[in-house]
Amino acid sequence: MTVKKIAIIGAGVSGLGAIKSCLEEGPELTCFEESFDIGGVRRYEEKSEAGKPISIYQHLQSVTSNSCKELTAYSDYLFPDHYPNFLHHSKMMDYVRMYSDLSLTLCSQSKVSNIRKHSDFSSTGQWNVVVEADGKQKYCIFDGIMICSAYYSNPYLPLECFPGIKKFTGLYFHSHEYKSPEKFKGKRILVVGSWIRHRVWDNEHPQDTVLITRFKNIIKKRLSNSIINKLAEDKLNARFNHAVYGLQPHHRHQPTFGNDLPSHVVAGRLLVKANVKTFTETTAIFQDGTEEGIDIVIFATGYTFSFPFLDNDSTVLDSQNSLFKYVFPPQPEKPTLAFIGFMQPVGGVIPTSEIQRLNKLPSASDMTTEIKRIRNYLEKHLRDERRVQYIDYMDEIALEIGVKPRLLSLFFWDPKLALKIFFGPCTPYQYHLQGPGKWARARTAILTQRECIIKPLRTQIVRDGQLPSSVPFWLLGASMALVIAHLTADISHVDLTHKSQASN
């Protein structure tokens, strides 16, 4: 079936990536954006309108990204090399504006209020869409829908988990309402906290450029989860001992990035407390029996997402929001509805959202089986069932669409590039070396990514000999056997899979 008219819901970073991918294929696009501008949660606004999607960057002028620019970039568009490695939201918005090409129809301040199947959906796969703009309703029909609305759209505020909060006479609110500290000066504030993880790693490199590499990914797969967790926790505690400061959690969940918090604890500006047991009118009583007078409570309890515009139809999306590869619901008879960016990658959000496309989908029953398998695994090993490992997820889809780097052949024909791909950070440019969307500058971007990381740090002239090597020489030789063995195993696995499919 040829899809001709596509509606994209949301003009944030996921929506813009979807627009770029679709423009390469040639359908007619219309993008509906509820606010007045592009950028989504990356755009700071001094005031927010009631009922509008919440921006996690919108309410804190000092917020910077958790992911390094090299692992955050669109796969065919580099950040300016002088940009800092971790970006202030204003820099991120500058980049988004440079990237965006709104030569399509962009309907800003247009709220999609309803999406439902067309009467002949089973044969056409079309959707009826109701849009509200300027106080009027407009009815449209589209061949396909890509939902790219914000993942962080609804603040999660579980007040029922905090006994006594209703009788607390002070101010309490979700962290999304926090904008600036001025009006809280002199107040006693309680904030729900989390595990602390530094953005900067060994040799002052951004932590994700050190940890998210193909070499380390192979090592992790050959170690048990208990060993991996122990190594990670030891490394984190070497920089900031969570037990000493009373921050050792009783569970494993995604950490909070913060280079500043430890210094505030040491200086006594920040007190670390146990979980809240109950609130009184003016105090918080903690599980260790201590009690503190409190003026304000800020609940940094995360976000949920919802799709109020989707028709309440179990043949569109089930109650668990089940999505094959976190993109396609298996229920509709025609695969013309996609959700972009609705997962939590251990890595950059933009690259994982951008690559979310498949050439061919399996049957609905096979998709459902795969969804259940992944969900069961994640429920056992992670608290967040939408958590995905960056390299594994990117490679899985890249293999489907023919853009996964061919490392084995590269080691013979372009060993310099192969070594960068294997030992260096798994930047999104790796997925533009070949296949659909091949980018002529991808090789250069990979070979110079370390220089782009170092350049914003070079505020004085430094001799090259003073810079630490990104990959120790002994490690290159010692790991070559592992590389060949792993790549050979991958090829054998693919061959066996293809043979099995052929026999079926």
Check which CATH number belongs to the domain holding 294 and give it.
3.50.50.60
Domain boundary among 301, 332, 354: 301
3-state secondary structure 47-68: CCCCCCCCCCCCCCCCCECCCC
pLDDT at 443 over 80: yes
Question: Is residue 211 one of the residues assigned to a domain?
Answer: no
| pLDDT average, residue stretch 186-211 | 76
Which residue in the block uniquely carries the two structure tokens 């944030």? 12
Dump pLDDT digits (tens) for 11-48: 999 999 888 888 877 788 899 998 888 888 777 766 65
Domain boundary among 256, 272, 301: 301
For residues 187 and 248, state if they share a domain. yes
For residues 88 and 137, state if they share a domain. yes
At 469 the pLDDT is 53
Three-class SS of residue 132?
A: strand
For residues 346 and 279, state if they share a domain. no
Q: Please tell me which residue, 339 or 385, carries the higher pLDDT value.
A: 339
Share of the chain above pLDDT 70, in %: 74
| pLDDT average, residue stretch 97-120 | 84
At 496 the pLDDT is 46
**Is-contact 130 138, C-beta < 8 A?**
yes
For residues 261 and 339, state if they share a domain. no
Question: Is residue 185 one of the residues assigned to a domain?
Answer: yes
At 286 the pLDDT is 93
The residues pairing with 367 across neighbouring beta strands, listed in sequence order, are: none
For residues 257 and 308, state if they share a domain. no
* Vertex 101: Cα angle to 100 and 107 (nearest 5): 95
Instruction: Name the residue among 119, 135, 13, 175 with its Cα closest to residue 127.
Output: 119
| pLDDT average, residue stretch 118-147 | 95
What lies within 8 Å, CB to CB, of 356 at 6+ separation is 325, 326, 327, 338, 340, 341, 397
Task: Mean pLDDT check: name the lowest of 203-212, 242-251, 279-288, 327-336.
Answer: 242-251
For residues 328 and 451, state if they share a domain. no
Question: Is residue 69 one of the residues assigned to a domain?
Answer: yes
pLDDT at 354 over 80: yes
Q: Which of 41-50, 158-167, 185-194 has the highest mean pLDDT?
A: 158-167
pLDDT at 418 over 90: yes
| pLDDT average, residue stretch 45-72 | 66
| pLDDT average, residue stretch 220-224 | 79
Exposed e or buried b for every residue in 351-365, given b needs 16+ CB within 10 A? bbbbbbbbeeeeebe
Question: Is residue 116 one of the residues assigned to a domain?
Answer: yes
For residues 467 and 421, state if they share a domain. yes
For residues 391 and 428, state if they share a domain. no
Query: Rounded mean pLDDT of the chain?
Result: 81
For residues 273 and 358, state if they share a domain. no
Query: What are the φ and ψ backbone dihedral angles of 65, each rounded to 5 degrees?
Result: -70, 155
| pLDDT average, residue stretch 235-246 | 59
Domain count, the chain: 3
pLDDT at 324 over 90: yes
For residues 386 and 409, state if they share a domain. no
Question: Is residue 440 one of the residues assigned to a domain?
Answer: yes
For residues 350 and 379, state if they share a domain. yes
Confidence of residue 497 (pLDDT cuts 50, 70, 90): very low
Question: Is residue 217 one of the residues assigned to a domain?
Answer: no
Question: Is residue 216 one of the residues assigned to a domain?
Answer: no
Residue 94 sits in which domain range? 5-154+304-396
At 203 the pLDDT is 64
pLDDT at 77 over 60: yes
Domain boundary among 301, 327, 345: 301
Residue 365 structure tokens:
């029953």
d(CA 351, CA 59): 25
For residues 98 and 25, state if they share a domain. yes
Dump pLDDT digits (tens) for 167-178: 999 999 998 888
CA 151: distance to chain centroid? 9
Question: Is residue 381 one of the residues assigned to a domain?
Answer: yes
